[in-house]
Amino acid sequence: MLEAIVAVFVLTIGLIGTAAALSYAVHFGAISRNVTIAKGMVVSSIEDIETLRNSRRLSFAQIANVGNVVNTGSSVVFTGYVTDFQDISLGPGPDGVAGTADDLTDPGPDGVFGTPDDFVNPALVRSGYRRRVIITDLSSSMKKVEVTVQYFGSGGRVGEISGVAYLNDESRTTH
Ligand SMILES: [Ca+2]
């Protein structure tokens, strides 16, 4: 199962908007903490996508961005990952997948999605971070998954960390 997420994991750290070195030193502690958290978000997002593939909750062709999802032959209709940076939610929303347009939907007092008391809940936003998931088909059985998390430090600094993983269609390559 480990070989399934074929393995290159690249982390890049870019700080946009440089300031004086002294100021950087002062803020370094806070930035370092943001980097650690953002890195964890990148890794867990990639693992979520791997789990989605392994569990077959979505077909391999459905694991895609908005506009590229192929729902043909699947019992579940998936809308796809949003193609731009969006707020990171504490929950995945009704579709159960983090990174889609419904992430901030709250099931409301009844705790059930799809009922009239559902609402968009800004309190679900993990403030200080935004995420983008880009999935590219390299072939019919291989996808490139790139997850980028932006973090917002003090003084208006924005940092970005990206992780890249290659996801194969396990059902074709194992057994
Ligand atoms: Ca969702």
pLDDT in tens, 85-137: 999 999 999 999 999 999 999 999 999 999 999 999 999 999 999 999 999 99
Distance CA 127, CA 115 (A): 27
Give Cα 144 distance to the centre of its chain.
Answer: 13
Instruction: Please enumerate in sequence order all residues whose Cβ is within 8 A of that of 139, keeping only pairs 6 or more positions apart, or say none.
Output: none
Cα(175) to centroid(ligand 1), Å:
32
Task: With respect to residue 111, please indicate whether it lies within any of the assigned structural domains.
Answer: no
Cα(34) to centroid(ligand 1), Å:
24
Dihedral through CA 120, CA 125, CA 131, CA 135, nearest 10? -40
Say what the pLDDT of residue 135 is: 97
Task: With respect to residue 32, please indicate whether it lies within any of the assigned structural domains.
Answer: yes
pLDDT band at residue 44 under the 50/70/90 scheme: very high
Other beta carbons less than 10 A from residue 16's beta carbon: 10
The label of the residue with tokens 């803020």 reads 27
User: Residue 6: which domain range?
Assistant: 2-88+128-167
Task: With respect to residue 62, please indicate whether it lies within any of the assigned structural domains.
Answer: yes
Task: With respect to residue 116, please indicate whether it lies within any of the assigned structural domains.
Answer: no
Cα(20) to centroid(ligand 1), Å:
40
Task: With respect to residue 113, please indicate whether it lies within any of the assigned structural domains.
Answer: no
Domain tally, the chain: 1
Whole-prediction pTM value? 0.80
User: Out of 45-54, 83-92, 147-156, which region has the weakest mean confidence (pLDDT)?
Assistant: 147-156
Cα(45) to centroid(ligand 1), Å:
12
Cα(52) to centroid(ligand 1), Å:
13
Say what the pLDDT of residue 159 is: 87
